């Protein structure tokens, strides 16, 4: 049974009235868009359903319905545009953008202060003819202690000082094993520095940490003396800190004889005394000495022909002096506000 023109027009007019009411009730642009899509939208608009019924009309009725259909469509689209204008006018004004305002400050990547110090120390010694050497962090006990003339009952070998692994292994307590490995691999003359991380059972306080960076140096050649050692290290201190006072104090290390510790005037208090320098005005930055003949012999070097000297320093402690950092623990906190100060 074909649809009559009167029935279809009545349905179209009812749809028109309902849609106009929905448009009037739409109180936001999103709500208006929903009404538009459901009424006159190309894909799911209900108005399309009326157009689809056109073929069911008698041929004589099709022109009349087509004209009415087009009139309703134009009316609804005009009503949608008018309502859109009304809602847009009543909507709150968008926040104005001030394009002259500076952008938010962004975090810039920065090298850690210990890395900065390490690289500067390496550069100073490279200028003096030293080569950088590296070695494993997990070492054999012989390289860490035995080859360095440590007696078997030395306190540093106790469990409370050293982190031992299985089968005679340990986490190196200094980078001195690199010196032995280098002497075994290359004939003198040798001048190296050995940077790297070392591990000890230390209490974590203002000037100590259980894992820290260390850099050691070694020079082996014919006729090398303590005078060469002192001149080299004093030259380093003046290059690194600027003109500064240094002093050498007698000390003892199993792998050097004679041995000394080198202090520099405290860069934080300028020698007046503070917590960092333990109120002495001086800060120890390295230990040093002439290499013990037993160390040279253990590495296969003729101690009758060659002599050498060595030193070891902690870049983290030196960074305290360079940057005026009062507590070594700050360097391990991963504090972005602290690290950002070193961004270039």
For the chain, the domains span: 5-90, 113-342
Q: What is the pLDDT of residue 1?
A: 46
SS3 190: strand
pLDDT of residue 316: 85
Task: Retrieve residue 64's tokens.
Answer: 């009349």
- The CATH number of 113-342, from 3.40.50.720, 3.40.50.2300, 3.30.930.10, 3.40.50.300, is 3.30.930.10
pTM of the model: 0.64
pLDDT score at 157: 62
8 Å CB contact between 135 and 129: no
**What residues in the chain have per-residue pLDDT under 50?**
1
Distances (CA, A) of 216 to 3, 106, 225, 287, 311: 100, 37, 18, 9, 5
Hey, what are 223's tokens?
A: 């006729």
Q: What are phi and psi of 133, to 5 degrees?
A: -125, 150
């Amino acid at each position: 049974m074909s649809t009559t023109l009167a029935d279809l027009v009545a349905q179209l007019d009812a749809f028109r009235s309902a849609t106009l009411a929905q448009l009037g009730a739409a109180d936001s642009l999103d709500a208006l868009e929903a009404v538009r899509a459901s009424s006159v939208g190309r894909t799911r608009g209900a108005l399309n359903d009326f157009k689809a019924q056109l073929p069911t009309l008698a041929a004589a009725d099709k022109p009349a319905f087509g004209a009415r259909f087009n009139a309703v469509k134009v009316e609804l689209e005009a009503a949608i545009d008018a309502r859109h204008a009304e809602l847009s006018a009543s909507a709150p004004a968008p926040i104005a953008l001030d394009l002259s305002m500076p952008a938010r400050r962004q975090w810039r990547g920065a090298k850690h202060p210990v890395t900065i110090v390490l690289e500067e120390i390496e550069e100073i010694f490279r200028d003096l003819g030293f080569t950088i050497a590296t070695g494993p962090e997990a070492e054999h006990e012989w390289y860490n202690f035995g080859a360095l003339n440590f007696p078997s009952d030395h306190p540093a070998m106790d469990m409370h000082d050293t982190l031992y692994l299985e089968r005679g292994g340990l986490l190196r307590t200094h980078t001195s094993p690199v010196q032995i490995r280098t002497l075994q691999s290359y004939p003198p003359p040798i001048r190296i520095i050995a940077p790297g991380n070392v591990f000890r059972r230390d209490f974590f306080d203002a000037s100590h940490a259980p894992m820290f960076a260390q850099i050691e140096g070694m020079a082996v050649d014919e006729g090398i003396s303590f005078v060469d050692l002192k001149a080299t290290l004093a030259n380093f201190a003046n290059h690194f800190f600027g003109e500064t006072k240094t002093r050498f104090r007698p000390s003892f290390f199993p792998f050097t004889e004679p041995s000394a510790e080198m202090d520099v005037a405290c860069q934080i208090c300028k020698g007046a005394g503070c917590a960092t320098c333990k109120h002495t005005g001086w800060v120890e930055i390295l230990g040093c000495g002439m290499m013990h003949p037993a160390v040279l012999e253990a590495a296969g070097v003729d101690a009758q022909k060659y002599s050498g000297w060595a030193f070891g320093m902690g870049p983290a402690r030196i960074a305290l002096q360079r940057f005026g950092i009062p507590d070594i623990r700050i360097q391990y906190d991963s504090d972005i506000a602290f690290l950002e100060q070193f961004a270039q």
